[in-house]
Structure 1
Amino acid sequence: MSKLLLKTLSLTAATAALVSPALAGPTYENANGGSFTFYGHLDPSFLSVDDGVNTTSDLADNSSSNSRIGFYLRQPIGQSKFQFQFETALGLRGSADISQTNDLNAMDWDRTDIRKIDFSIAGSYGKFSFGQGSMASDGVAFTDLSGTGLPTTASVEDLASSFELTTTAGALSGISIGDAFPTFDGARLGRVRYDSMSLNGFTLSTSYGTNILTEGNDDEAYDVTVRYQNQFGDYNFDSALGVIWTDKATGADTRDISTSFSVMHSSGLNGAISYGDRDTGGNYGYIKLGYTANLFAIGSTAVSVDYYTGDDLVSVGSESESFGIGLVQNIDSANVETYLGYREYSYEDTSATTYNDLSALIFGARWSF
């Protein structure tokens, strides 16, 4: 039996174990209206990447939505609501970390896996947040109502970010998928943030932050975003626009503009677009078309196709293209989403070097609790 088949069977067995009844995220309430809620999800997957020379296959945590646990503490204070949130990734080997040369442990947690240590207070004045957490622009590139974000997303690099493109001569090029297929979305940092109340579907947010989890990183970032969500008849809309300024301790400062828009019709037809531009060079565009239907009693089924194109992202004159297809089957009774995704990457630049296409296949399941 091939190693590929053995690994696929192992993942199937792991998925079956996850689907079995297990822990559920409980909520506990106190006499003063406060609550404690525990939550998380596990997202094991099988990843296989063909770089045009060799194929690398391994079990991985899906970097599009890495496995994590967390909790909320909520307490009303007069007319305001106080909240504390802690959330950490589990430090499992991510699909974005695997490459032709990386020899990674199955689990290697460090403090950079902490996602949120966040205090906030909200009321009629909006919401103020303090601590490690999402900048205002985090997610502005990824509005997507398709339900297929696990295998296919505007962050097309997630499946194979650390893999290097190979040359047609069979050598590693030194250019990674992450280099050639970036998005200019916001980050999670130690920050202060303000979100306005929603006004006819519009929300304004701004934040200032710096990296407090990585030693030696003194970059500072500040951003402004506008989000819009609404429903008109049979159509649901979700959109975002953000501008991100990064003052770098070393190297050139950057200004990034990211925007995305998604629409879902009651028939299940949906679409999403995303665009990003960096003032120091490079831009990309992304489009996705999808369909969601209740084909099976266990839960909805979602399929999509997408396309990414980028210019000048590695060097002046470079061109990046990616095509992807995704399938997600929900199992409502078990809080499980099973998924299958395939993506192809192609790249060229103005040098004399030519590059092989790279393809990635992912199969997995996310269990939420």
Structure 2
Amino acid sequence: MHSFVHMHQPVTYIRMVAGAAFLALSAVGNADAQEREADTGHAPIRFRDITSLNFYGQANEGVLRFDDGEETSDYGIVANGNAVSRAGLSLTTDYDRGWTFFANFELGFLARPAREKTQIGSSRVDDGSDRTETRKLEASLSSPRGGRFWIGQGSMASDGSSEHDLSGTGLIASSNVSNMGGGLFRTRQGALSDVSTAAAFNNFDGLGRQFRLRYDTPTTKGVTFRVSYGTDVVNNNKGDLQDVAVSYGGNVAGRNLSAGLAYAHDKFRDAETISGSVSALDPGTGLSLTVATAFRQQDRDARYHYLKLGLQRDWFSAGRTALSIDHYSGRAIVKAGSTSRSWGIAAVQRMDNWNTDLFFGMRRYDYDDSSDAFQHGVATMLGMRIGF
């Protein structure tokens, strides 16, 4: 059951901030234990000098509120959809002549995802309070000259094509702006509509994680080509999934650069998508620029553009601070003629000794179509990610 307060009543918001502060202080109080867990998780167990076993994961939670223009909803503790809580186990075996076998099993924990919360409950049929997801169940065989062959549940070639981001704030502010959470838009008359922030904003980031066959070429001067063929066995969607992608990671004129471009065909949804992103970081000044865009042809032609400016500095001995401001503009995401706009600010503070990130984000969502006029919404999230 959600509680509502008007904007001129700050008590609930203060409680929300206090709750996040309590989470942060709890992490500080258990810093030694968390650091030991992190060290244990990142130090692989080795067998016969050629095989290593590594356990890893993260907990990523925050507190979320959403002002829809009439009332403010406090959702309490939710899962940060930009990097969900997860745990995984990987095995690596090195053979002669540079060949490597790799296997990975990873579960995601999707209790109360931020993007699915609305003023009247979850946007899914179930509440999502106890859901888990098999993110990865895959194996690969690779060599420096032969490239890498993948099989199983995992990233398609186009996955991540819209999310190359060196700003340091991708934990709370990515091109998939709806991940921070929000709710239903209200009409100008004050009634709740059936359009949610999750539906109105999309970054068309390739085909995600599916059961697939995939091949990656060897990386040459920072460039890698990928191709994959798969199907959505998790949701039992019948239809072929095919995509190709190219990515780059390296240094150009003294700037760090990460970029990707992909084409994807989803036969089940009869959709074709071209998506891409590029991010550049100047190590000297800490300034970064990130751009992402995509075009999807389905029953209508939908597209978006995303721009982010970032700054990273070592202001505190605990770790690097990252700040950013961004803007999203989309057309026909919900229906033909609809427009979706968003701007946001974000801050991420790294705590190196605890393997922890503290984050804050505020985002405004605007939506419009020919059916009615809508009020804007503002989402605020404060939380932390702890890695192990």
- How high is the TM-score relative to the length of structure 2? 0.89
Identical aligned residues as a percent: 32
The runs of at least 4 aligned residues of structure 1 exceeding 6 Å deviation read none
Aligned to 1:205: 226
1:179 to 2:196 alignment? no
How large is the RMSD of aligned CA atoms in angstroms? 1.7
Aligned to 1:14: 23
Whole-angstrom distance in 2 between the partners of 1:214 and 1:236: 38
CA deviation map 1:316-365 (0-9, x unaligned): 221111000111111111111111100001111123x1001011001111
Aligned to 2:4: none
Aligned to 2:6: none
Whole-angstrom distance in 2 between the partners of 1:68 and 1:183: 22
Letter in 2 for 1:363: L
6 and 105 in structure 1: CA distance in 2 versus 1, 3 angstrom threshold: farther
Whole-angstrom distance in 1 between the partners of 2:229 and 2:192: 38
Structure 2 contact 302–332 (Cα < 8 Å) conserved: yes
Whole-angstrom distance in 2 between the partners of 1:82 and 1:325: 42
CA deviation map 1:227-286 (0-9, x unaligned): 0111134211110000010001xxx51100101000001210110000100112110000
Structure 1 contact 255–278 (Cα < 8 Å) conserved: yes
Task: Number of aligned residue pairs: give it.
Answer: 361
Structure 2 contact 50–95 (Cα < 8 Å) conserved: no
1:37 to 2:54 alignment? yes
Query: Cα offset for 1:6?
Result: 3.2
Secondary structure at the aligned position of 2:116 is classed as coil
Aligned to 1:129: 150
Secondary structure at the aligned position of 1:63 is classed as coil
Structure 1 contact 11–44 (Cα < 8 Å) conserved: no
CA deviation map 1:14-46 (0-9, x unaligned): 232234222221411112411001111111101
100 and 114 in structure 1: CA distance in 2 versus 1, 3 angstrom threshold: same
CA deviation map 1:83-142 (0-9, x unaligned): 1111111232111121112257684124xx111011111112100111111111111001
Secondary structure at the aligned position of 1:175 is classed as strand
1:263 corresponds, among 258, 280, 284, to: 280
Secondary structure at the aligned position of 1:179 is classed as helix
Letter in 2 for 1:75: T
Aligned to 1:90: 109
Letter in 1 for 2:197: I
Whole-angstrom distance in 2 between the partners of 1:82 and 1:145: 29
Query: Cα offset for 1:75?
Result: 0.6
Aligned to 1:225: 245
Structure 2 contact 138–151 (Cα < 8 Å) conserved: yes
Whole-angstrom distance in 1 between the partners of 2:293 and 2:128: 34
Secondary structure at the aligned position of 2:111 is classed as coil
> Could you list the runs of 5+ residues in structure 2 that have no partner in the other structure?
1-9
Whole-angstrom distance in 2 between the partners of 1:309 and 1:260: 15
